[in-house]
């Protein structure tokens, strides 16, 4: 019976394995789904923070890295328990509708405009941010995230603030995360808007330099919100609250400030729990 045994064995092993994979304990402290941005994820920050929380509380955290827009939508439908996002204007309607509660400022970093080191559009020489954007619009290529992420929303807002209509500019949209978009910009000799953390984390493999930075509107603020358990069935409100509290603890905040700071000579994120809350 040359055929039977391998086939049967395969089927049996598969059935057993999937049964084993389906086993779970009933008295575990719970699980939360944290929808977050690709920037916090690609920088590796959550890989550092989440295991500490899990170890201490026993609560498992499922980190789903999507754009801020998708994360908020997941929250709005009750498909996540907490969100760590960075687009205050986009967060506001979800706070107003009661989908998100107890929003708190966790940390900040800043957005920068990066581009080819030889800066063909002379963006670095521009006197201010709107002028730099205008220079890029007329003399350079720009690659956009195009994925409804916090960075994408920020980029669109910056064009509008500079008096330019993003729909009429020749921008290329990648529809991908920050890491992939930076790689594409680097390969194509294009400019892009990025959070500093992801740029620094990938700097070594990119042919991109920071050309525009420091404008007040380039501040990037990250808030943690808990999805309202009274509005959405099945939300693990208590556990999500515990995670939010964990992020704001002085010890965690210090960790955020130190994260990869030695490696890059500066911190990727600035802890902000003590700072006055804005937006959220």
Please report, as ranges, the residues that interact with other proteins according to CB under 8 A: 1-4, 6-7, 10-15, 17-18, 21-22, 31, 33, 38, 42, 44, 47, 62-65, 77-79, 176-180, 183, 201-202, 204-206, 232-235
192: left (phi over 0), alpha (psi -120 to 50) or beta: beta
30: left (phi over 0), alpha (psi -120 to 50) or beta: left
Give the residue with the Cβ less far from other proteins, 164 or 180: 180
**What's the closest the beta carbon of residue 13 comes to other proteins, in angstroms?**
7
Alpha-carbon distance 132 to 135, whole Å?
A: 5
Give the residue with the Cβ less far from other proteins, 3 or 216: 3
**What's the closest the beta carbon of residue 202 comes to other proteins, in angstroms?**
5
3-state SS assignment for residue 199: helix
**What's the closest the beta carbon of residue 14 comes to other proteins, in angstroms?**
2
Give the residue with the Cβ less far from other proteins, 23 or 276: 23
**What's the closest the beta carbon of residue 118 comes to other proteins, in angstroms?**
22
Give the residue with the Cβ less far from other proteins, 7 or 254: 7
Cβ partners under 8 Å of residue 111, min gap 6: 151, 154, 193, 194, 195, 196, 218, 219, 220
**Cα angle, residue 269 at apex, residues 81 and 183 outer, rounded to 5°:** 90
């Amino acid at each position: 019976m040359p055929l039977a045994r391998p086939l049967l064995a395969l089927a049996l092993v598969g059935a057993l394995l999937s049964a084993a994979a389906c086993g779970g304990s009933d008295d575990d402290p719970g699980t939360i789904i944290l929808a977050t941005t690709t920037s916090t994820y690609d920088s590796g920050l959550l890989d550092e923070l989440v295991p500490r929380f899990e170890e201490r509380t026993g609560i498992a955290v499922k980190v789903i890295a999507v754009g801020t827009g998708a994360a908020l939508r997941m929250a709005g439908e009750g498909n996540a328990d907490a969100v760590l996002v960075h687009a205050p204007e986009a967060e506001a309607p979800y706070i107003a509708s009661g989908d998100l509660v107890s929003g708190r400022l966790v940390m900040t970093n800043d957005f920068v405009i990066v581009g080819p080191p030889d800066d063909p559009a002379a963006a670095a020489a521009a006197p201010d941010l709107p002028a730099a954007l205008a220079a890029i619009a007329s003399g350079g290529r720009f690659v956009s995230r195009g994925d409804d992420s916090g960075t994408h929303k920020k980029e669109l807002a910056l064009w509008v603030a500079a008096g330019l209509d993003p729909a009429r500019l020749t921008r290329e949209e990648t529809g991908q995360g920050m890491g992939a978009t930076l790689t594409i910009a680097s390969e194509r000799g294009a400019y892009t808007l990025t959070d500093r953390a992801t740029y620094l984390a990938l700097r070594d493999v990119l042919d991109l330099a920071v050309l525009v930075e420091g404008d007040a509107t380039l501040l990037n603020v990250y808030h943690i919100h808990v999805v309202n358990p009274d509005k959405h069935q099945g939300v693990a409100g208590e556990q999500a609250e515990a995670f939010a509290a964990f992020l704001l603890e002085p010890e965690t905040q210090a960790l955020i400030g130190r994260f990869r700071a030695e490696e890059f000579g500066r911190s990727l994120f600035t802890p902000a729990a003590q700072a006055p809350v804005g937006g959220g």
